[in-house]
A = this chain, B = another copy of it.
Amino acid sequence: MPQSPNHPAYWHTLPRRHGDRVRADGGSAANDMLVMGTHVGTHIDALAHVSHNGRLFGGADARAAGEGGFYRDHGVHTIAPMVCRGVLLDVPAALGTEVCEPGYEITVADLETTERLQGTPVERGDAVLIRSGWGRRFDAPDRDTFIGHDSGVPGVGEAGAQWLAGRGVHAAGADSIAFERLAPGAGHSSLPAHRVLLVESGVYIVETLDLEEIAAQKVHEFTFVLSPLPLFGATGSPVRPLAVVAGPAAEDGRG
């Protein structure tokens, strides 16, 4: 699984396997140990994840907010489960291409073209999932392909984030590990969309979404269900969100 080197990697082990200890009645239980950051795999960023000039969303002092070892006010436990309208903005489909180029900044015009062509205007309170096509690289044998440090990664930039915030969306997601556009070779040195959404606007960010299936099925509007683990004071949570449609459910989670 591709992972940001900034976060503790996902490790799963089986401390106990079947056969290790069998009860008198013939039963045995196997169990797990997980070690992981919260920003690995498909996950949601809590508002506490990012600060700017020492301030969190709402103006709280970011350093003081973490004293005690948890973020009481803007931790991921404060995010209510979401059951709301979801909109997929399939940008490359609207632009008549397969996938956006590495490092391409999805513009406000691109977003507006997409919602218009799809007939799915973005509305207040929506969860908006922006497909760049980058998610196709998730299963590349080397993790660098998906992380895209050298190549850059497509996504919205500061302008696109302001457009989303201006529309009053509740959450914004994408099919890349950093949500926003990364310039080739720049890595995470500048993340203006995170600032706009998390710090200035209180909009949650969902990353590493698998949007290929709903895009292929042209599911552009759905009920979005996302239920973060209420990890007290944490800055994010692994999640497996769903796009629920009238017929059978289509999943967009990824792990």
Which residues of A in the span 198-255 have a Cβ within 8 Å of any Cβ on B?
225, 227-236, 238-242, 244, 249, 251, 253-255
A116 sits at the interface (CB 8 A): no
Contacts of A229 in B (CB 8 A): 41, 238-240, 255
Shortest Cβ distance from A65 into B: residue: B18
Asked if A194 lies at the interface with its beta carbon under 8 angstroms from chain B, I say yes
Q: Does A66 contact B (CB under 8 A)?
A: yes
B11 touches A66 (CB 8 A): no
Interface membership of chain A positions 37-81, coded 1 if the CB is closer than 8 angstroms to chain B and 0 otherwise: 111010000001111111010000011011111110000010011
Of A23-31, A87-95, A104-112, A168-176, which stretch is located at the interface?
Answer: A23-31
**Is A195 an interface residue, CB under 8 A from the partner?**
yes
A17–B51 Cα gap in the complex (Å)?
10
Total copies of this chain within the assembly: 4
> B28 contacts A50, CB within 8 Å?
yes
Assembled-state Cα–Cα distance A68/B21 (Å)? 6
Binds B, one of A2-10, A117-125, A127-135, A145-153: A2-10
The answer to whether A32 and B68 touch (CB under 8 A), given A26-B52, A26-B53, is: no
A167 at the interface (CB under 8 A from B): no
Contact status A69-B15, CB under 8 Å:
yes
Q: Are B233 and A12 in contact (CB under 8 A)?
A: yes
Knowing A35-B33, A234-B32, say if A81 contacts B15 (CB, 8 Å). Answer: no
Contacting residue for A8 out of B28, B33, B188, B228, CB 8 A: B33
- Known pairs A11-B15, A15-B13; A31 contacts B39 (CB<8 A): yes
Give the residues from 178 to 208 in chain A that come closer than 8 angstroms, CB to CB, to chain B: 188-192, 194-195
B30 x A71 contact (CB < 8 A) = yes
A235 to B31, Cβ gap below 8 A? yes
